[in-house]
Structure 1
Amino acid sequence: MITVENLTKRYGEYVAVNDVSFACKPGRVTGFLGPNGAGKSTTMRIIAGLTPPTSGSATIAGVPYRDIPNPATQVGVLLDASAQHAGRTGMEILRLSAMTMGLDMKRVDEVLEWVSLTPEEAGRRVRNYSLGMRQRLGIANALLANPKILMLDEPANGLDPAGIHWMRTLLREYADRGGTVLLSSHLLHEIEIIADDLVVIGRGEIVAQGTKDELLAGTGAHVKAADDEALGQALVNAGFAAYPAQGGGINVEADPAQVGRVALDSAIPLIELRVGANTGLEAMFLQLTEQTQREQPATQGAL
């Protein structure tokens, strides 16, 4: 189990992480989400013992990472797939890790097969790897000692659709066997499929956390109008989050009665108005992090 309590990290006057608290439980995949610069990587580096916190704590099974004997046997970490020795082969990197951890060398062949790196690919120098191959190698390194906890930052970068499906299956099976997974990714659809719990961070602070089902429970309204663009703009002007829906219409974070009132006040005829179904992780993410996005949701200008 990973436990983060009142974690704060300052760089001079800049606060990268501010009083962050959450927990990642065994048997569950925790999706860690936030815009660029929100504090995800800083938090994960602190958990992995690479960056000291200004205050607060991050522990693994109640112990700071740096105090765990032979920690890579307990926690598999992948924070940057590019941070691997470019002059070594994939096989050499895994064998060195296995030697450091005191593992049987047979384990290297097992994880290479598990992540679908062929003997020929494992014999290449990492400088000649694609980003997807580096990701597979990094995941292999994280899994080498069959740890109880996995912490992965953007592991799907560079993977093709088949690779993303493979990774999703691997992590789901790992959690189902009782493992703890902390997964940061910008691929919201993949997080929505695989995650059990969600932690959303913006400007260094937690803006939402809970189970996926709790956070994505069906709320809001779905509406279609004679002029969706005009209604969308009217809803945004009224302070409601509004997003284009697949198949047409608008999903709105508001009660149907509130949407109807905006349409009436704006003299926009409605074609359909009903309680919204699950509006999805992307809609929730954009709503929660609206003030921390580098790019504002397109609906504010397009609707």
Structure 2
Amino acid sequence: MITVNQLTKRYGQHAAVDAVTFDAKPGRVTGFLGPNGAGKSTCMRMMCGLTPPTSGTATILGRSYADLPNPGRHVGVLLDAQAQHAGRTGREILTLGALTLGLPRTRVDELLEVVGLTQVEAKRRLRDYSLGMRQRLGIAHALLGDPQVLVLDEPANGLDPAGIRWMRSLLRGFADQGGTVLLSSHLLHEIQVIADDLVVIGRGRIVAEGAKDDLLAAAGTTVRSTDNARLAKALQDNGIDVTQGFGSLSVQVTPERVGRIALEHQIVLTELGSTSSTGLEEMFLQLTAADAREGAAA
């Protein structure tokens, strides 16, 4: 269980994270989403004791990360797969982690097998690893202590399609056995496939939070046409609020009503459906359109 309560981080007058509150529950995968610069990584660093909050709290299993005895035995963390000594081999990195956590060396071989790194690959130095191999090693390191909670920031970076499917199965199995997973990723399709709950953040504040299915079902209707401007006016003339998306319009009425209005005005529709059918990407873009800061660091 991860409990975040009014978590805030300020740098001077700038609030990188502003009163963020949510729970990541056992037995569930929580997708943590937001555009670049939204504050996701800063939040996760505060959860793991790497960045001190200005105010608010973040607890894991009822305690702050720093107060957990031998925290690696309770929480597995992957925030940056590059943050290991490039001159060490994969096996050396895992062995040092095992010794630090008080684990037998046999745990290293177990994890190498779990993440699909061969004995030959384990003997290579990290500087010779591909990004995908580094991600697998980072996931192995997070799993070393057989934790109850996983905090993973962009763990699918560099993984090929087979690797992404493997990771999806691994995390789903971890949650199904009662573990808590907090997963940040820009691969929205993967989040849609695996996540049970969603937390969407924009400019340091939560813009949506709840069960994935509930959020998608409540998102209304998405429509595209050959003349979105004229369609938007027709909908507004009928008392319907319209949200402009990326080449689409979103409204909180049924697809049937939108279709009838378009027919009355002889506007050709190229797409019409509930937002839940268009998926997480459309909902994400709509929720964060005003908050996106492409290119800024998270």
What is the TM-score of this pair, normalised by structure 1? 0.87
Match of 2:292 in 1: 293
**CA distance change for structure 1 residues 146 and 243 in 2, over 3 Å: closer, same or farther?**
same
For residue 294 of structure 1, what is the amino acid of its counterpart?
A: R
Q: 1:240 aligns with which of 228, 240, 243?
A: 243
Specify the SS of the correspondent of 1:103: coil
Measure, in 2, the Cα distance between the counterparts of 1:251 and 1:204: 26
Residue 267 (structure 2) aligns with: 269
Cα drift, residue 221 of structure 1: 3.1
* 3-state SS, counterpart of residue 291 of structure 1: coil
Question: Could you tell me whether the CA contact under 8 Å between 2:19 and 2:205 is conserved in 1?
Answer: yes
Cα RMSD (Å): 2.4
Aligned-pair CA distance for 1:61: 1.4
Q: CA deviation at 1:240?
A: 2.2
Aligned 8 A contact 1:243 1:252 in 2? no
Paired with 1:272 and 1:203, the residues of 2 have a C-alpha distance of 33
Give the Cα separation in 2 of the matches to 1:207 and 1:163. 31
Residue 62 of structure 1, CA deviation = 1.4
Deviations 1:87-126 (A, max 9, x none): 1000000000000000011110000011000011000000
Work out whether 1:155 is the aligned partner of 2:158: no
8 Å CA contact retained: 1:78, 1:155: yes
Letter in 1 for 2:290: Q
Q: Which amino acid aligns with 1:120?
A: V
Q: RCO higher in 1 or 2 (8 Å CA, sep ≥ 6)?
A: 2
Where do 1:20-169 residues align within 5 Å? 20-169=20-169
Normalising by structure 2, what TM-score?
0.89
For the residue of structure 1 that corresponds to 2:217, the secondary structure is coil
Residues 271 and 143 of structure 1: CA distance in aligned 2, closer, same or farther (over 3 Å): closer
Alignment of 1:212-251 (within 5 A): 212-217=212-217, 219-221=219-221, 223=223, 228-231=225-228, 234-235=231-232, 239-242=242-245
Q: Is the partner of 2:152 in helix, strand or coil?
A: strand
TM-aligned CA deviation for residue 187 of structure 1: 0.3
Distance in 2 separating the partners of 1:60 and 1:263: 51
Secondary structure of the residue aligned to 1:30 is strand
Provide, for residues 189-216 of structure 1, a one-character-per-residue CA deviation record: whole Å limited to 9, x for no partner. Answer: 0000000000000000000000011101
Measured after TM superposition, the shift of residue 82 of structure 1 is 0.7
What percentage of aligned pairs have identical amino acids? Answer: 63
Secondary structure at the counterpart of residue 157 of structure 1: coil
Structure 1 gap segments, 5+ residues each: 245-249, 296-303
Is the contact between residue 77 and residue 151 of structure 2 (CA under 8 Å) also seen in structure 1?
yes
Q: What CA distance in whole angstroms lies between the structure 2 residues aligned with 1:277 and 1:262?
A: 18
Partner of 1:280 in structure 2?
279
Q: Which residue of 1 aligns with 2:193?
A: 193
SS at match of 1:7: strand
Structure 2 residues not aligned, in runs of 5+: 237-241
Q: Are the counterparts in 1 of residues 245 and 289 from structure 2 also a CA contact under 8 Å?
A: no
The amino acid that maps onto 1:230 is D
Kindly tell me the number of residue pairs found equivalent between the two proteins. 286
Partner of 2:239: none
Secondary structure, aligned partner of 2:226? helix
> For 2:261 and 2:243, how far apart are their aligned partners in 1?
10
Cα deviation for residue 270 of structure 1 reads 4.3
Q: Which amino acid aligns with 1:289?
A: T
